[in-house]
Amino acid sequence: MGRPYRLLFDHLLSHTDPEEAHHAAFRAIRAAAPALARVAAVGEPVDALGLTFPNRLGLAAGFDKNAVGIDALGALGFGHVEIGTVTGEAQPGNPKPRLFRLVSDRAVINRMGFNNDGAEAVAGRLKERLDRRRSGTLGPVLGVNIGKTKIVPEDDQGAVEADYGKSTRLLAPYADYLVVNVSSPNTPGLRSLQAVERLGPLLQHVRATADSVTDRRVPLLVKIAPDLADEDILGVADLALETGLDGIIATNTTISRDGLRSHPSEVEEAGPGGLSGRPLAGRATEVMRLLRGRVGDRLTLIGVGGITTVEDARERVEAGADLVQGYTAFIYEGPLWPRRIANGLSA
């Protein structure tokens, strides 16, 4: 189905509004969930973060922002699904249009702005899911990605910690692992929180809050941007070790537009935002090698950014990733893509 889907995408789907297409595709996935659940599992289990993942491939944050289709996505072949980014308060995100395809680059530019239903609503859905799992329904490993509410001043450290703390308090009890997102380019000032002197206290606060509301240790990771300088990446790695983090996710989207095949006018028309997809692969792999060289085997590393083929996924694992994630390739390659990558990594 890979080639037929690509032809369908290039000749029909690529001409539809990207955000509307996303919602339509997600509705179709959820509707197909009962049939998908009967399909045999894919890939081979892998142990990481003190958990057993059904396979190495996960769906990156951003696709299921509001925890409405976790198990349907798992049935497609994703061994873990990372929901969010969820913020302490519900927010609509940035004005539309805010999602753009660069088809020639197999890339996407987004400036969504953490549009989501807020931590309270998402927690309610996760409680319902947990109740179903207790009755015997299993699904993928669940990651919960949390970020800063836009109206919270980024220069008020106490307010920032309280905002992340609210999300942690509500969501950590349902998460298999928790991710602190300080690397989206679409919330003003958010990336300033990657500075070690600000990130350290924030991570310590999230860790303490999670421990206070759970009777188990929820693994905690941080997601970083590819646009950090190498020395800053190493600084985050050192901080992760010092503060007892369980892992790092590398990388988020990039604000760089270097080396694109798309016509400059098309890129200019799309405007600002985070670029994801194939052009990100090289830098994301470099960052992974830097991190693994610094932390050795002491942290779990999740590689994301530009993974399109089985070879891409293998290269990221060889660079040091314990697990990998995708999102943009899922859009371009279609519903059989997760199974193809998961099986390919196990071959």
Alpha-carbon distance of 70 to 239, in angstroms, equals 31
- State residue 16's pLDDT score: 84
**Does 93 show up as a binding residue in the annotation?**
no
Q: Is 55 annotated as a binding residue?
A: no
What pLDDT is attached to residue 139? 87
Catalytic residue among 167, 184, 262, 276: 184
On whether 94 is known to bind a ligand per the annotation, the reply is no
Structure tokens at 289: 């090698």
Rounded CA separation 158/241 (Å): 23
The number of folded domains in the chain is: 1
User: What is the three-class DSSP state of 188?
Assistant: coil
Identify which of 118, 128, 21 has the alpha carbon closest to the alpha carbon of residue 71. Answer: 128
- Annotated binding residue at 253? yes
Q: What is the pLDDT of residue 5?
A: 54
Amino acid at 152: V
pLDDT of residue 144: 98
Point out which residues pair with 223 in neighbouring strands: 181, 249
Residues 256, 276 contacting (CB under 8 angstroms): no
pLDDT tens-digit series, residues 43-70: 999 999 999 999 999 999 999 999 999 9
Q: Is 113 annotated as a binding-site member?
A: yes
Q: Which amino acid is at 143?
A: G
pLDDT in tens, 190-218: 999 999 999 999 999 999 999 999 999 99
Each residue of 233-272: pLDDT tens digit? Answer: 999 999 999 999 999 999 999 999 999 999 999 999 999 9
CATH number at residue 333: 3.20.20.70
184 tagged catalytic? yes
pLDDT attached to residue 9: 53
Q: What is the pLDDT, as a whole number, of residue 279?
A: 98
Q: Which spans in the chain are helix H?
A: 2-11, 18-31, 33-36, 70-75, 119-134, 157-171, 196-213, 230-242, 264-270, 281-295, 310-319, 328-333, 337-346
In this predicted model, what pLDDT tens digit does every residue of 321-334 receive, in sequence order?
Answer: 999 999 999 999 99
Quick one: pLDDT band at residue 7, thresholds 50, 70, 90? low
pTM of the predicted model as reported, rounded to 2 decimal places: 0.94
Parent domain of 323: 2-346
Q: What is the pLDDT of residue 47?
A: 98
- Summarised one tens digit per residue, pLDDT across range 79-101 is 999 999 999 999 999 999 999 99
Q: Is 252 marked as binding a ligand?
A: yes
User: What is the band of 173 on the pLDDT scale with cuts at 50, 70, 90?
Assistant: very high
Strands 247-250 vs 300-304: parallel, antiparallel or unpaired: parallel
Residue of 18, 25, 16 lying closest to 335 (CA atoms): 25
